[in-house]
Amino acid sequence: MTEQTIARVEEPDGAPRIAVLDILRGVAILGILFMNINDMGASFRAGGDVRHFGWAPIDQVAWWLREVFANGTARCLLEMLFGAGMVILTSRTVEAAGRWQVMRRYYWRNVVLVAFGLVHMFILLWGGDILHTYGLAALVVFWFRRLGPRWLIAIGLLMATVQLCGAGYFGYYRGIQQQAQVAELTARGAAGQTLTAADKATLEKARKSEAERVKNRAERKAEIAKEDADRSSTTTRWVTEQVRMSAERLFGFGELFAVWESASLMLIGAALFKLGILQGQRTRPFYWRMTIIAYLIGGGLRILGAEETMRFDDAPHISWATQEIARQAMTLGHVGLINLLATSVLGAKLIHPLVAAGRTALSIYVLQTIICLWILYPPFALALYGTQGWAAMMVTALVINLGLLWLANVYVRHFRIAPVEWAWRSIVEGRRLPFRKVPV
């Protein structure tokens, strides 16, 4: 996409838009439905057992493709774009209002976004909301906005490698080490060799750990069964369960990890924007190299992880340590591929409709929730909860996204800003922003 075709346009509040970033945002917001639909239509709690969502051969193919090419990448891309948006918005605020008002305006913007996220969780009842998480992470990332790209990438990667080191050591290495030790001691005991008190304590600890795992699996199975029953019976039980899931997500320890993850990727996204990588300012050879290398790394790790998952055993998985590296690599591959398409005539025509999806991303995100959570899968409407396997849910997500993409393109012909975006930015600006386009 040439500099002319990436023409900068402005929202009613003066916020600039860059077409390539809107395309990336459109890909991300449509892609995120492929990640959410199983939580909406089958189970929010059963993510650890992919067979719960249907495991016919066609479902296995659908899950494998989703896992390798898409899992987590839409969220990762949105996090990067949020970091790029921070750079754009804070720079614009400095120019328009002065350096001292940057924090106040940016913080207010994200506090309102957090409020929208809470409405999404407790009014629309979607426990998987990301808006509040991004709003909270942005309050932290703001303080790093003036750092150069190298520092931003270094800090972001350092935060991301916590998962690599922690899961790599405690999840994989220690697990392999303990398995080998227990196997050796068991073999020695079976051979009639004398075991020390420490050896016996090690075997007893392993026995108790295994009993605890069996107990936890049984409890988790019961929780999933209760969720399935509550979400497919009466409206009252459905609402109660949805509220409970939202509360567990918001007040659970995992929320800290979600904010941490989001902040690390926002820093990397800010750096990639400052380097001109996200918005297509590098050469085609650069994006070719970036795409190939990223897909080789991310794809290889993703295939390994998918194969480990499909073993369905209790053995330590190396993908526990490498999943964040794989997610970021696959996302960078997507960024490179989209920028390659954007700089070719045919590719630009092919992906141009995604500009509208990027400009209406927040409204699309909410519409995805309304369609899936309130029409397709609740007990009081079409009541399809638990009736679709992986393949059927992926097809459903594709059909919904195509409809939303068409709707977004029709909408932007007549309106300057999407409804949810309009409400958010009007509150932030403290005035009612213009809604419709003025006929020329």
As a whole number, mean pLDDT of residues 381-400 equals 97
**Residue 123 pLDDT exceeds 50:** yes
Average pLDDT over residues 18-38: 96
7: pLDDT confidence band, cut at 50, 70 and 90? Answer: very low
336/176 Cα distance (integer angstroms)? 37
What does the pLDDT look like over 239-259, one tens digit per residue?
999 999 999 999 998 899 899
Among 294, 299, 306, 296, which Cα is nearest to 332's?
Answer: 294
For residue 45, the 8-state DSSP code is S
pLDDT digits (tens, 9 = 90+) for 61-74: 999 999 999 999 99
Residue 320 is predicted with a pLDDT of 82
- In the chain, where are the structural domains located? 9-158+240-429
Collect all residues with Cβ–Cβ distance below 8 Å to 283 and sequence separation of at least 6.
none
Query: Which DSSP category does 170 fall into?
Result: I
Residue 171 has pLDDT above 80, yes or no: no
Which residue type sits at 189? G
* Residue 44: partners with Cβ closer than 8 Å, 6 or more residues away: 127, 128, 227, 245
pLDDT score of 5 = 39
Q: Which pLDDT belongs to residue 14?
A: 57
The closest alpha carbon to 373, from 122, 84, 148, 172, belongs to 122
Find the helix or strand (DSSP H, E) in which 10 lies.
strand 9-10
Q: Is the pLDDT confidence value at 8 over 80? A: no
Q: Left if phi > 0, otherwise alpha if psi is -120 to 50, otherwise beta: which for 439? A: beta
* Greater model confidence, 98 or 333: 333
The mean pLDDT of the chain is 90
Tokens 């896992």 — which residue?
67
Most confident stretch, 11-25, 64-78, 151-165, 193-207: 64-78
pLDDT at 321: 83
At residue 212, does pLDDT exceed 70?
yes
CA distances to 57, 172, 300 from 312, in Å: 16, 16, 20
Query: Helices 19-41 and 73-97 meet at what angle, rounded to 10?
Result: 140
What is the Cα–Cα distance from 118 to 131, expressed in whole angstroms?
8
pLDDT of 53? 94
Rounded to 10 deg, the angle between the 73-97 and 319-342 helix axes is: 60
| Range with lowest mean pLDDT among 22-36, 82-96, 313-327, 413-427 | 82-96
Percent of the chain with pLDDT over 70: 91
What is the structure's pLDDT at 182? Answer: 82
pLDDT of 98 > 70? The answer is no
75 pLDDT exceeds 70?
yes
